[in-house]
Structure 1
Amino acid sequence: MLPEDTLRLLAQKLAKQLQDNQQMLVTAESCTGGWLAKIVTDLPGSSNWYDSGFVTYSNHAKQQALGVSAELIAEHGAVSQAVVEAMVSGALKNSQAEVAAAVSGIAGPGGGSESKPVGTVCLAVGLRDQPPVARQEHFSGDREAIRYAAIKVLLQELLRLTAKKSA
């Protein structure tokens, strides 16, 4: 199975769960540059369960569009669990959605550091009126492989999050 097919299948499962739950999704992406939004909106009928997406690549965009504080970014760095949690909260605040996903990472080939090497990605998912759940991952490979892995994990996390309601 091609990588794109894997993402499409995960997105189709997510679409069904969101529709079953009568929920809308919002995305807030940095290192993936809107790839998650593209995957979900490639599906026909996605307007029934996808509200909007924010591609906030720069720190300024994270602050302006999602309300992430400059102090939070300065203290933890843009690639941190604290920042992706704030991105989830900001995306939900600035949309009609009940479910949110956020991602920020270092996809390379440059930009890494000893404490945050290339492949470091922070992801978060959350429901409106509940605290977001974030995690940090380290993916290997080239820029595309790292971004693909981040989208795959985000879709899996969204499936887990929305399965709780449909169960």
Structure 2
Amino acid sequence: SAGKKHIEELGLTMQYPEGYQEPQNGEEHNSENEVPAKKGKRSRGGASQASSPTPKKQRAASFSLEAPLAKQVRADACNERLWQECLTLDKGRQAFLDRVQELFTCVCCQELAYLPVTTPCSHNLCQGCLKRSFKAEVFCCPTCRKDLGKDYELKVNTTLSGVLQALFPGYENGR
């Protein structure tokens, strides 16, 4: 073909990434778009970056809570098990925040629990969501359906509320 002649005229040779095995018996890729994409991704120094960790990864691994915040977390005895699960993550601050957000999401509104009420069954819900549930005469935990009773006091877990506001400043805005 004309393309192969042009390659020969220019004296070009095919460059393959490390570990690439040439097609045997004259087999070639059907799609011309696949080969350049693979070459482009691998020729950007992927092998050298994978062998040495980036500074961000090293910094992220050494994450620990600030002393006042750690004290508040320890004070939240109702959610001790959940906090332990979050604090054992060794993937850095962002992984910690993602896990906190996942564990303290209200099952009713699917947002981070605002004015969180911790139920006797250790689930955290927004006070407003739980009030709405009680107003509809549903007196059970929306997460596990444990009966809370008509007279259950919707007391805000102020310790948890303070920690969430410190970790996610401004999350209560617009609620």
Q: TM-score, normalised by structure 2?
A: 0.24
From the CA coordinates, give the structure whose radius of gyration is larger. 2
Relative contact order (C-alpha < 8 Å, sep 6+): which is higher?
A: 1
Q: TM-score, normalised by structure 1?
A: 0.25
